[in-house]
Structure 1
């Protein structure tokens, strides 16, 4: 015999609540509608579901057994409804985000942690890449969005929203000898060892441009291929220099271990921002994550702008 699942759910609600009116209220139904359901169910089964004349209602053993099945269905229905609500409100789901390594590790990872304080059930899947790789990954639907520096956008199928000026700086430890000079000459950076930025990165291109601007094609590079954490640890213990995003150096300011030389690095006009497929539908979780990143960098951009205005940058 096939039973209507809705009838079993109504039976479970009445048993749990101890009365037809209370069960109907629990389900958002009217009392007469639930009473009709119970009457139809008893007639079809040919068995009493409740002990006659008992108040509050007391189910028969048969009624209790059926109500247990209805309770499982009721819980499953509620879980499904909760899942739908959480998905629609961006509290569940997945976000596939990629970006340049130093920028992701230095700034975005902190924001991901803050995002999970409010939305712990949204899964964030992070990967790394540079512009060409990131564009390919977005077009191939391997990532939902990228957070990266952009100077020239390739193709009109992608859209970009700027969140931070894409400025790179010469980073060093806070007690570096060059910071002690009253008049810093840019060419003096050639006298110190350098940490090589990641291969094929904008940081590497900017380091090369800086050296060329001083008429040099090379400097001592004793350390190659490190992560952001290893680069910072190396900077803190040596007189080495490297190129880092200004936002990353600024994010470490409270630790008072690394800083930026007041020296402008020649590089193309670029911005750091969010890159995604133009016109592509976004899940609520992706939209919530995007909004959170934009707001987080909005606050950071204001702080960096005030800091830059207080520093005399040498060309």
Structure 2
């Protein structure tokens, strides 16, 4: 015997509410329509669903068992409705975000935590990559959003780019580095110290080569390479090694008072850190909410970062 699932849900509402009128109000039906459903269901199964003469209504064993199945369906329906509502409001869903490692570790991870504190039902999947890899991931629909420094976005790329912070890289060192005690820094002295090479494929590595050429050197003395941001910072803290970092990353470590930036102009193309998305990508409210949160977070930080740059670097 096949039973209509809607009838079981309506039966569950009556059992839960203790009366036909109350059950009808619970699921948005009229009392007469719900009474007809119960009569139809009893006729179909050939058994009473409620004990006669009992108020509030008391289900028979069969009525109670059927109502339990209906209650499961009713709960599932409500969860599904809540899921749809949450999706449209951007409070549930999945965000797949990829980005350049140092930015993701130093800045984006904390912003993601703040976002999920407010929207705990959104799951965020984070991955790493540089611009070429991130573009491939966007094209292949492996990520919804990329966060990366961009020099030029070619026309016809199929991508949108929203700048969230002007890109500026600096020479970083430990706070007790000898060069920080120099009143007027001779940039050629940078060649006297060992270097930490940024990761392969990173714009930071290209900027290191540009800096070396501007100092008249064909190569620079690299002592350590292949590490993460944490390993690079920990290495710097215990040595006089230098490296290239985004200024915003140095800013993110300001409260630790472990690393600083030297007042050195690095020749690199004008670039900006921003959000990359596909023009023809499916717009998910959760992704829109996440992108908006990241943009607002950087907007709040931009003034502080600029002040830090003027006071801690060029104010020396």
| TM-score, with structure 1 as normaliser | 0.95
* Matches for 1:189-208 after TM superposition, within 5 Å: 189-208=190-209
CA shift, 1:13, in A, is: 0.9
Alpha-carbon separation, structure 1, partners of 2:211 and 2:65: 79
- 2:300 aligns with 299
* Matches for 1:62-141 after TM superposition, within 5 Å: 62-141=62-141
Alpha-carbon separation, structure 2, partners of 1:179 and 1:53: 91
Aligned length: 314
Q: Is the 8 A contact 1:13 1:27 kept in 2?
A: yes
Unaligned 5+ segments in structure 2 are: none
Alpha-carbon separation, structure 2, partners of 1:295 and 1:279: 24
CA shift, 1:229, in A, is: 0.5
Q: Is the 8 A contact 1:264 1:313 kept in 2?
A: no
- 2:311 aligns with 310
CA shift, 1:218, in A, is: 2.0
Alpha-carbon separation, structure 2, partners of 1:48 and 1:102: 68
Alpha-carbon separation, structure 1, partners of 2:227 and 2:73: 55
CA shift, 1:163, in A, is: 0.3
| TM-score, with structure 2 as normaliser | 0.94
CA shift, 1:108, in A, is: 1.1
Q: Is the 8 A contact 1:115 1:292 kept in 2?
A: yes
CA shift, 1:155, in A, is: 4.1
* Matches for 1:40-55 after TM superposition, within 5 Å: 40-55=40-55
Q: List structure 1 segments (4+ residues) > 6 angstroms apart after TM superposition.
A: none
CA shift, 1:308, in A, is: 2.5
Unaligned 5+ segments in structure 1 are: none
- 1:276 aligns with 277
Alpha-carbon separation, structure 2, partners of 1:286 and 1:312: 36
- 1:7 aligns with 7
Deviation track 1:105-153 (CA, whole Å, cap 9, x = no partner) reads: 1111111222221223322222222122221221122221210000111
Deviation track 1:168-215 (CA, whole Å, cap 9, x = no partner) reads: 000011111111111112222111111111113110111111121111
Alpha-carbon separation, structure 1, partners of 2:99 and 2:65: 55
- 1:159 aligns with 160
CA RMSD of aligned residues (A): 1.6
Deviation track 1:207-243 (CA, whole Å, cap 9, x = no partner) reads: 1111211111223211111111000001101111100
Alpha-carbon separation, structure 2, partners of 1:311 and 1:93: 41
Alpha-carbon separation, structure 2, partners of 1:76 and 1:219: 63
2:259 matches 1:258 = yes
Q: Is the 8 A contact 1:11 1:38 kept in 2?
A: yes
CA shift, 1:2, in A, is: 1.9
